[in-house]
Structure 1
Amino acid sequence: MQNAHLVVTVLAAAMSGFSAYSLLSRADWVVQAMVEYRVPRTWWTPLGLAKAAGALGLLAGLVLPVVGLAATVGLALYYLGAVVTVIRARSYAHVPFPLVYLAPAVVAYGLGLAA
C-alpha cells in the first residue's frame, strides 16, 4: 500500500506541477481556455502559483502528512472551482479536465490514510 501511495502522490504532484508550469509559462492551449472561461488575466499567475504550491505540498506530505492533507484540500478546492468556472463558461465538454487533475490528489490522500 505504501508503494501505491508513493507512486500516486508523485503522479498527482507531477500532474499539478505540469498544470502550474503550463499556466505560468502561458502555453497557448491554456491561454485560449482561460480567455474562453473569462478568467481575468490578473488571476493567472496566482492560480499557477497555487497549483505549484499544491504540487509541492503533496510531495512534502510524504514526510509531513498534515502538509499533504492541506495540499489535498487546497487542490480539491482549486479544481472544484475550475469545474464551476468551466460550467459557468458553458464549456461543458471541458468539465472532465479539472477532474482528471483532482482525482489523483484525492486518491493519493486516501492511500496515505490506508497505509
Structure 2
Amino acid sequence: MSIALVIVTVVAIAANGGIAAADFARAEFVLANSAEVNVKPEWVPWLAALKTAGAAGLLIGLVAVPPLGLAAAVGLVLFYVGAVATHVRTRVIHNIYFPAGYLALAVATLGLTLAQ
C-alpha cells in the first residue's frame, strides 16, 4: 500500500465525512446549494447517507477489506459525476467547484486503488 494512497484516501474519508455531517445537520449552505440545483430538502439526508457509506467503505477498504474500498471509490465517483451533471443540467456553475473537488478526490482515490 502506497503512502499516496493512504494520504489521498484519508483526505477523501475526512472530506466526505465532513460534508455528510453538514448534510445531516442541514447546514444553511447545504440547503441553499441543494435548492439552487433543485434537490428537495427531503433528499439531503439520503444523499448524506450515501456519502457516509462511501467514507466508511473507503476506511474499511484501507484497513481491512480492499475490495470494499474499491467499491466505495467507484460509488463515490459515480455519486459526484451525478452531482456535477446536476450542476451542469441546472446551469448552476458558480459553485460547481464543490462537487468537482469531491469528484477529483474520489477519482484520485479510485486511480490509486486500482494502481495497487
Q: Same fold (TM over 0.5)?
A: yes
Which range moved further: 15-24 or 103-112? 103-112
Q: Which has the higher contact order (CA 8 A, sep 6+)?
A: 1
Percent identity for Structure 1 against Structure 2: 45
Q: Which runs of 5+ in 1 are unaligned?
A: none
> Residue 103 of structure 2 corresponds to which residue in structure 1?
102
Q: Under a length normalisation based on structure 2, what TM-score does the superposition of the two structures give?
A: 0.90
Q: Please give the alpha-carbon distance, in whole angstroms, between the structure 2 residues aligned to 1:52 and 1:114.
A: 24
Q: Tell me the matched-pair count.
A: 115
Counterpart-to-counterpart distance in 2, 1:112 and 1:70: 10
Give unpaired runs (5+ residues) of structure 2: none
TM-score, normalization by structure 1? 0.91
Structure 2 match to 1:68: 69
Question: What is the identity, as a one-letter code, of the residue corresponding to 1:98?
Answer: P
Note the 1:1-115 alignment, pairs <5 A: 2-62=2-62, 63-115=64-116
Q: In structure 1, give the amino acid aligned to 2:32.
A: Q
The residue type equivalent to 1:3 in the other structure is I
Detail structure 1 runs of 4+ shifted over 4 Å in the superposition.
none
- Kindly indicate whether the alpha-carbon contact (under 8 Å) linking 2:31 and 2:41 is maintained by their aligned counterparts in 1: no
